Amino acid sequence: MWGPAQKGPIGEFFAPVAGYGVTISAMFKKSVTEQYPEERVPTQPRYHGRHQLNRYADGLERCIGCELCAWACPADAIFVEAHANSPEAQFSPGERFGAVYQINYLRCIFCGYCIQACPTRALTMTNEFELAGPTRESLIYEKQDLLAPMGANMLAAPHPMVEGTSDANYYRGEISGPTEEQVAWVREHRPDDPTLATAKPVDGSK
């Protein structure tokens, strides 16, 4: 049987203070101070910051209100309420969309389980980390706070899906932008929509 390692006389002498080696060596190193917030150091690309609800290329929302993110959250920080889409109010591909979406950043531990659970990549995490607020209510983010900004060629929802497609076409990434039919629908129902000025129709497929 192997016995404990035998220390020499020098080892026996320094054994009581051996654990302070790292501490003592750090005492002689130069201190590094980040001048935050005057100088902001970029975060790592995969940093887990504020959440974002994404959109498809034509402007429809990716969230389908399945609530899998809420079920996966170990801190019970997410609340989702789904409503049914209709021909007059199509917010996402398929049957349902997330009508109410809240994230309570007083509870969120930024573990990323909600991102893993999302089946449509509707929810991702940004590099934004400055989430302090003056009140507790301000740290409960609503859907409008989490939705990604409109892209240059997106058409604000609600509007119909690309003609002749199903939700599976959207999930596979086959939609590259709004079509003439979608732009015409929005122009008829919401002629003052500001995204009409920037949306350029495409054929709707890659």
pLDDT digits (tens, 9 = 90+) for 180-198: 999 999 999 999 999 999 9
pLDDT at residue 41, rounded to an integer: 87
Here the CATH number for the domain that contains residue 118 is 3.30.70.3270
31 domain residue, yes or no: no
37 domain residue, yes or no: no
112 domain residue, yes or no: yes
Q: Which domain holds residue 132?
A: 51-197
pLDDT at residue 120, rounded to an integer: 96
Average pLDDT for 88-97: 95
Q: Is the pLDDT of residue 105 over 80?
A: yes
Q: What confidence tier does 131 reach under pLDDT thresholds 50, 70, 90?
A: very high
pLDDT at residue 17, rounded to an integer: 76
Average pLDDT for 152-178: 94
59 domain residue, yes or no: yes
Average pLDDT for 80-107: 96
When divided into structural domains, the chain yields a total of 1
For residue range 147-164, what is the model confidence (pLDDT) as tens digits?
A: 999 998 999 999 999 999
The DSSP-derived string for the chain is ---PPPP-HHHHHHGGGGGGHHHHHHTTSPP----TTTSPPPPPTT---SEEE-B-TTS-BS-----HHHHH-TT--EEEEEEE-BTTB--SSSSEEEEEEEEETTT-----HHHHH-TTS-EEE-S------SSSGGGEE-HHHHBPPPPTT--PSS-PPPTT--HHHHHTT---S--HHHHHHHHHH-TT-GGGGT-----S--
pLDDT at residue 1, rounded to an integer: 47
145 domain residue, yes or no: yes
**Rounded Cα–Cα distance for residues 171 and 53 (Å):** 15
pTM to 2 decimal places: 0.80
